[in-house]
């Protein structure tokens, strides 16, 4: 078993409220059912306070959410009394250098308290330079002094990516005082988000709320720690045109509040930077008229849908319904790409696991779309969010199923069953009602049949998905029929003689 299998199994069960069969997990992980059992045992053997994954014969496996979160909380609160690891040490160092950049420090002020060798310091500097280089930042050294150099936009981008965990922000479980996120600052920023929602008469949805929180919090930390020595942003201008006067008024108010909170006036560029974040968020969805969707948004959305539905698996989704929701998402996405704003998708791994083929299809389509329209690269986080819209369209589609009804004589009870099914299931098309002795001829005449529903047990020579039900079509029969239809739509076929 690989660690990846264990993580994938837990992620899959996190999406399920009830038991999942070993066969389903086996197909999902591409391993045998015996391997699934071994993976579950190895996971549970790691925990002393009860199983993380419960199992019941005949039902399968289910995540014990209480034990799972109890264990995760214990791991999160564990402190290594033997000292910081090399990774934790470098995290602390880069945090200090970034938050206060371009403040210069003596080498001993940074590394002295860790009591490590010169070779370990040299190794740290090499790794830190590599980490910062991804954000076009430089770890500079002159004699015994060291500091981070770069434009302000790249510094804040590095702080956001390297130092903030958005799941901590969302849950409100901020670090303790004197650590990175301070309770007083967090409360002030949260109040500003409430103000933005009040002034725009909108709700800031996740993950945009996390992005805005992070942006405002970092702004506070940077001006408090570096103040007047902060370099101005590269590649932006406070005089660039804006299209939404209402949002500009909101930004002016929030930045004025931050200036009062910090007891220092903030430069005009901060109003523009906040405006970019707001226009990259979905804060005015309810006021968007589908007829007023910008041409570029309309074009990229239609192109993206057309590319995805080229795949036969998705050809029958409702493109018109999908377009409205997806276009509302694509508009701020295009702004994020233009402004270099990234969002974190905490559900990405679960999306990849649950909708593996769909995610890959969407990813290829977004790559083609970016090339066609000259857009910046769309990363997996964004592709994951787009996948959710297509997944919803896939789940909402009701692909009609062709059903053959079978009973002893083909009359009487079969007609009653037909009436009940037609009343209960709008997505079923009953192609014929036949007696059991005529089933072979009916199947030959109707190769389109997806499911055989019978009031009697049929022979093993019927190789179509088959479900045995009562002529009264009980509530239990209806549930079984609904589940069987879902499996057929997902491409899973089986016999169900009950």
Q: What is the SS3 assignment for 296-359? A: HHHHHHHHHHHHHCCCHHHCCCCHHHHHHHHHHHHHHHHHHHHHCCCCCCCCHHHHHHHCHHHH
Rg of the chain taking only CA atoms, in angstroms: 29
Question: Are the C-beta atoms of residues 288 and 324 closer than 8 Å to each other?
Answer: no
146 DSSP β-pair partners: 105, 141
* Cα torsion through 187, 189, 192, 194, rounded to 10: -60
Confidence of residue 90 (pLDDT cuts 50, 70, 90): confident
Please tell me whether the peptide bond between 207 and the residue prior to it is cis, using omega within 30 degrees of 0: yes
pLDDT tens sequence across 29-57: 888 888 888 888 888 887 767 788 888 88
pLDDT score recorded for residue 192: 92
Question: Are the C-beta atoms of residues 144 and 127 closer than 8 Å to each other?
Answer: no
Strands 428-435 and 451-454: unpaired
pLDDT score recorded for residue 223: 84
Check whether 174 has a pLDDT greater than 70. Answer: no
Q: Which residue has the tokens 């993950």?
A: 207
Q: List strand residue ranges (DSSP E) for 64-137, in order.
A: 105-106
How much is the average pLDDT of 260-282? 87
Q: Which residue has the tokens 């009591």?
A: 115
Gap between the Cα atoms of 50 and 48, Å rounded: 6
Cα-based distances in Å from 336 to 271, 280, 342, 382: 17, 5, 7, 10
Check whether 160 has a pLDDT greater than 90. Answer: no
Strands 60-63 and 53-56: antiparallel
Gap between the Cα atoms of 52 and 45, Å rounded: 9
pLDDT score recorded for residue 333: 92
Check whether 352 has a pLDDT greater than 60. Answer: yes
Edge-to-edge strand ranges of the sheet holding 495-496: 428-435, 401-407, 451-454, 466-468, 495-496
Question: Are the C-beta atoms of residues 353 and 335 closer than 8 Å to each other?
Answer: no
Q: Which residue has the tokens 């996405």?
A: 333
**Most confident residue range from 50-64, 76-90, 230-244:** 50-64
Check whether 348 has a pLDDT greater than 80. Answer: yes
pLDDT score recorded for residue 255: 94
Gap between the Cα atoms of 104 and 141, Å rounded: 9
Long-range contacts of 2-10 (CB under 8 A, 24+ apart): 5/29, 5/31, 5/35, 5/39, 6/39, 6/42, 6/43, 7/349, 8/349, 8/353, 9/36, 9/39, 9/40, 9/43, 9/53, 10/43, 10/52, 10/53, 10/63, 10/68
Gap between the Cα atoms of 347 and 384, Å rounded: 8
Exposure of 377 in the CB half-sphere (CA atoms within 13 A): 3
Check whether 165 has a pLDDT greater than 70. Answer: no
| Nearest CA among 478, 475, 436 for reference residue 455 | 436
Gap between the Cα atoms of 175 and 181, Å rounded: 6
Task: For residue 363, give both structure tokens.
Answer: 């990813």
**Most confident residue range from 28-32, 131-135, 368-372:** 368-372
pLDDT score recorded for residue 301: 95
104 versus 395: the higher-pLDDT residue is 104
Burial category of 263 from C-beta neighbours within 10 Å (exposed 0-12, middle 13-18, buried 19 and up): exposed
Question: Are the C-beta atoms of residues 303 and 372 closer than 8 Å to each other?
Answer: yes
Tally the residues of the chain. 498
How much is the average pLDDT of 148-165? 81
pTM over 0.85: no
Gap between the Cα atoms of 22 and 336, Å rounded: 42
Gap between the Cα atoms of 393 and 412, Å rounded: 39
Check whether 234 has a pLDDT greater than 50. Answer: no
**Range in 76-80, 136-140, 438-442 with the lowest mean pLDDT:** 76-80
- For residue 72, what is the enclosing H or E element? helix 65-77
**Range in 72-76, 159-163, 421-425 with the lowest mean pLDDT:** 72-76
**Range in 67-76, 233-242, 453-462, 480-489 with the lowest mean pLDDT:** 233-242
Q: What is the mean pLDDT of the chain?
A: 81
The distance in angstroms from the start CA to the end CA of the chain is 36
**Range in 241-245, 296-300, 371-375 with the lowest mean pLDDT:** 241-245
Gap between the Cα atoms of 498 and 317, Å rounded: 33
pLDDT score recorded for residue 170: 43
Gap between the Cα atoms of 476 and 379, Å rounded: 45
Check whether 78 has a pLDDT greater than 50. Answer: no
Task: For residue 227, give both structure tokens.
Answer: 């103040």
Cα-based distances in Å from 172 to 74, 168, 493: 18, 6, 45
């Amino acid at each position: 078993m690989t660690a990846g299998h264990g993580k994938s199994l837990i992620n899959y069960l996190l999406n399920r409220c009830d038991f999942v069969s070993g066969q389903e997990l086996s197909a999902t992980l591409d391993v045998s059912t015996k391997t699934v059992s071994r993976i579950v045992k190895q996971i549970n053997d790691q925990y002393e306070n009860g199983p993380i994954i419960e199992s019941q014969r005949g039902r399968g496996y289910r995540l014990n959410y209480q034990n799972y979160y109890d264990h995760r909380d214990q791991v999160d609160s564990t402190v290594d009394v033997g000292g910081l690891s090399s990774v934790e040490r470098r995290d602390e160092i880069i945090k200090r250098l970034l938050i206060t950049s371009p403040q210069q420090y003596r080498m001993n002020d940074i590394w002295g308290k860790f009591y490590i060798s010169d070779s370990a310091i040299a190794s740290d500097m090499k790794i830190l330079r590599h980490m910062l280089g991804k954000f076009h930042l430089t770890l500079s050294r002159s004699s015994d002094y060291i500091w981070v150099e770069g434009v302000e936009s790249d510094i804040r981008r590095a702080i956001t990516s390297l130092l903030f965990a958005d799941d901590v922000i969302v849950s409100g479980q901020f670090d303790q005082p004197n650590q990175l996120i301070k309770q007083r600052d967090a409360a002030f920023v949260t109040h500003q988000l409430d103000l933005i929602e009040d002034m725009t008469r909108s709700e800031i949805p996740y993950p945009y709320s996390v992005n805005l929180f992070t942006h405002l919090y970092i702004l506070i930390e940077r001006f408090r720690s570096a103040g007047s020595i902060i370099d101005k942003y590269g590649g932006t201008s406070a005089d660039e045109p804006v299209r939404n006067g209402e949002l500009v008024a909101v930004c002016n108010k929030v930045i004025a509040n931050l200036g009062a909170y910090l007891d220092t006036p903030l430069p005009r560029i901060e109003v523009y930077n906040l405006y970019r974040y707001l226009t990259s968020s979905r804060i005015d969805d309810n006021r968007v008229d589908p007829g007023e969707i910008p041409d570029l948004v309309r074009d990229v959305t239609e192109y993206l849908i057309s590319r995805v539905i080229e795949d036969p698996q998705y050809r029958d989704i409702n493109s018109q319904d999908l377009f409205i929701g997806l276009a509302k998402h694509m508009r701020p996405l295009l702004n994020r790409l233009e402004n270099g704003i990234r969002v974190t998708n905490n559900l990405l791994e679960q999306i990849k696991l649950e909708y593996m083929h769909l995610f890959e299809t969407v990813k290829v389509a977004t790559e083609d779309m970016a090339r066609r329209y000259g857009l910046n690269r769309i990363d997996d986080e964004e592709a994951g969010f787009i996948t959710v819209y297509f997944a919803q369209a896939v789940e909402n589609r009701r692909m009609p199923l062709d059903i053959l009804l079978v009973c002893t004589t083909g009359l009487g009870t079969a007609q009653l069953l037909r009436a009940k099914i037609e009343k209960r299931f709008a997505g079923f098309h009953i192609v014929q009602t036949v007696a059991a002795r005529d089933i072979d001829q009916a199947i030959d005449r109707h190769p389109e049949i997806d499911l055989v529903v019978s009031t009697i047990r049929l022979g093993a020579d019927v190789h179509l998905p088959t479900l045995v039900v009562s002529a009264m079509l009980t509530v239990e029969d209806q549930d079984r029929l609904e589940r069987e239809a879902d499996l057929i739509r997902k491409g899973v076929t089986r016999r169900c003689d009950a």
